[in-house]
Amino acid sequence: MDVDEYEAFDEFIRDEDDVKSTITTKTTTTTTSIAAANAAAAVTVAPSHLSLSTNNNNPLACQDNAFHWNNAPDVVLYEIFCYLPQKSRLIASQVCRQWRYALFHPSFWKKITFCLSNHDNIMWSRCLADTYYASVREVTIRCDSAEVFTREALNILEKLKCNRQLRKLIIEPTRCMFEESSEECNPDIFIKQVENLLRNSKYLETFNLGCIEEATEDLNPWLEILTQNSTNSLKHLCLASVKEDPQHYDYLELQVSLFKNFTQLTLLAIDYDHLSNDLLLSLNNGKLERLVVHVHSYNGEYMGTDNNAWLAFTQKNPKCELRLNLIHSFNGVRFLDSAILRPAMPLTHIKVLFCECLNMMGLNKITEWYSDKLKSIVWIDSISYPKDVERMVDNLADPDVLVLAAWKCKNLREIVHFGRSYSLNNLLGIVRVKPSTLKRLEFAEIDIDHDLECGLSIDEIIDEIKGAMGKQWHLLSVDELPDVVVDPVDSDSRETILPLVFEDLK
């Protein structure tokens, strides 16, 4: 079930009592007739062994030769439902009790998303876990930070440890998963339960720890278990984190040689602390398509990488795209151009999230070095936070760096820029030189400087931008911005950061 399907079914389940009171075993309502007609159409295109006759020996027929679809054998209902997408199955399941039972065939529940964000869906999640813990193949657990929801997530993981056929395990907390840690609900229990699950899973393809800091301090146990069971199946491995305090945290040295065992790996997410020449050398299967790196703090003790290592890496993994995310990296953003970036990096996406500093030289190097690769620039700070602009350029009258990026980077798809004053003239410049690939251009209205130098009025500039970007384009109002962009003191930046970085892990 994807997100839309889950929400539709969640709404259906919450109205279950009303549904039961209106559904009977006979299909007499208009909705039933429509569903039966759709089912008949499905049977029409089904294989010949599903064709139905209208003689009196047919249990689906009555004296007036009318079909009673509520009496269809389970095997027929199953075949019908197989022809329907999940949303249509939800509608068809309201025909009668028997059709409702058909919805819960295990083959329709190989992919389940547990959304643990309110009390209404806790019972539903328990029901799914109790019923399909041994047969589900793909599991995503979206969990709020409150202890009641975290405890439910732990219960689901406890049940899943018996599943030997699990293919995907994805954890997606909305904030810090263990914000309310207790004796019964804490990171140690989480780690133990996931380890037990991994030991029983022999064909795992996706393992995503959801950027949980406590679970990523020591990655070696995860890698050792995965090496024993999933070396030939693992494709997506997400071990990066989002730190509670990005200036002070612990991590243990990583045995990078373990990565050589994952012969099918196509996506790896990891913290910059573990990025080294040896790690790049270990990623030699030639199949890697995406490398996601999270930068938190930075100091001179990091080994980092050199350009030769990146040259060898890209030759071995020619399809790989690098996505670099700086998260509350107040020091890292200052060293972006001098110590982090390398010319041979296959950089396609750069996110700088709440680093409260604009490194102009870093942006210039990104535009210069990755003009044929770069697809996305997302630079978000808090509007009310004191700004520090690391210009580090020879001539402050040089063209705006985002205008240069739009002009030079022919594959650029999106520019998102919040938290720093930006000229409306330069925004117009981006639109005039942008490549045809640019589809997303987001700026905050509160950031725009309206000092006009091009001889056009504000309305004329906005109209020209809409002509290039589409009539629906507009500057984002304060109400449309993430809360932390407007109010960094009373808001939680992780509520904005996590959805952004989770997009890189899919």
Global pTM reads 0.83
**Residue 265 tokens, joined:** 């790996």
Weakest-pLDDT range from 146-160, 232-246, 447-461, 470-484:
447-461
Query: What confidence score (pLDDT) does residue 31 get?
Result: 39
What digits encode the pLDDT tens for the residues 332-354? Answer: 999 999 999 999 999 999 999 99
In degrees and rounded to multiples of 5, residue 240 shows phi and psi of -75, 165
Residue 449 scores a pLDDT above 90: no
Weakest-pLDDT range from 64-68, 139-143, 223-227, 470-474:
64-68
Residues facing residue 207 across a β-bridge: 169, 237
**Residue 387 tokens, joined:** 């700004």
Give me the sign of the Cα torsion angle 395, 398, 400, 402. Answer: negative
CA dist 468 and 460 (Å) reads 13
The amino acid occupying position 138 is E
Asked if residues 260 and 243 have their Cβ atoms less than 8 Å apart, the reply is no
Output the average pLDDT for the chain.
84
Asked if residues 301 and 294 have their Cβ atoms less than 8 Å apart, the reply is no
Q: How far is CA 387 from the centre of its chain?
A: 30
Asked if residues 342 and 277 have their Cβ atoms less than 8 Å apart, the reply is no
Can you list the positions of beta strands (E) in 262-355?
267-271, 290-295, 321-327, 347-353
Alpha helices in 161-186 (DSSP H): none
Residue 67 scores a pLDDT above 90: no
Q: What average pLDDT does range 401-409 have in this prediction?
A: 96
Asked if residues 484 and 382 have their Cβ atoms less than 8 Å apart, the reply is yes
**Residue 322 tokens, joined:** 């690098």
Q: CB under 8 Å to 257, separation ≥6 — which residues?
A: 278, 282
What digits encode the pLDDT tens for the residues 92-137? Answer: 888 888 888 888 888 889 999 999 988 888 888 999 999 999 999 9
Which has the closest alpha carbon to 429: 394, 393, 405, 397?
Answer: 405
- Coil, strand or helix at 379: strand
Cα separations in angstroms, 6 against 1, 31, 207, 210, 363: 6, 22, 21, 20, 40
Q: CB under 8 Å to 128, separation ≥6 — which residues?
A: 109, 112, 114
Residues facing residue 195 across a β-bridge: none
In degrees and rounded to multiples of 5, residue 338 shows phi and psi of -90, -30
Q: What average pLDDT does range 282-303 have in this prediction?
A: 90
- Which residue has 């009977």 as its token pair? 24
Asked if residues 133 and 107 have their Cβ atoms less than 8 Å apart, the reply is no
**pLDDT band at 2; cut points 50, 70, 90:** low
User: Which of the two residues, 236 and 25, has the higher pLDDT score?
Assistant: 236
**Residue 50 tokens, joined:** 């599903």
**Residue 33 tokens, joined:** 């007739």
The amino acid occupying position 136 is V
- Coil, strand or helix at 371: coil
What digits encode the pLDDT tens for the residues 209-263? Answer: 999 999 999 999 999 999 999 999 999 999 999 998 888 888 788 999 999 999 9
Query: What confidence score (pLDDT) does residue 245 get?
Result: 86
Asked if residues 167 and 205 have their Cβ atoms less than 8 Å apart, the reply is yes
Cα separations in angstroms, 104 against 12, 17, 126: 14, 18, 15
Residue 436 scores a pLDDT above 50: yes
Asked if residues 143 and 212 have their Cβ atoms less than 8 Å apart, the reply is no
Residue 24 scores a pLDDT above 80: no
Buried b (16+ CB within 10 A) or exposed e, 167-195: bbbbbbbbbbbbeebeeebbeebbbebbe
Q: How far is CA 140 from the centre of its chain?
A: 11
CA dist 233 and 252 (Å) reads 26
Q: CB under 8 Å to 218, separation ≥6 — which residues?
A: 251, 252
Buried b (16+ CB within 10 A) or exposed e, 410-442: eebbebbbbbbebbbbbbbbbbeebeeebeebb
Burial class (CB in 10 A: 0-12, 13-18, 19+), 222: buried
Burial class (CB in 10 A: 0-12, 13-18, 19+), 147: middle
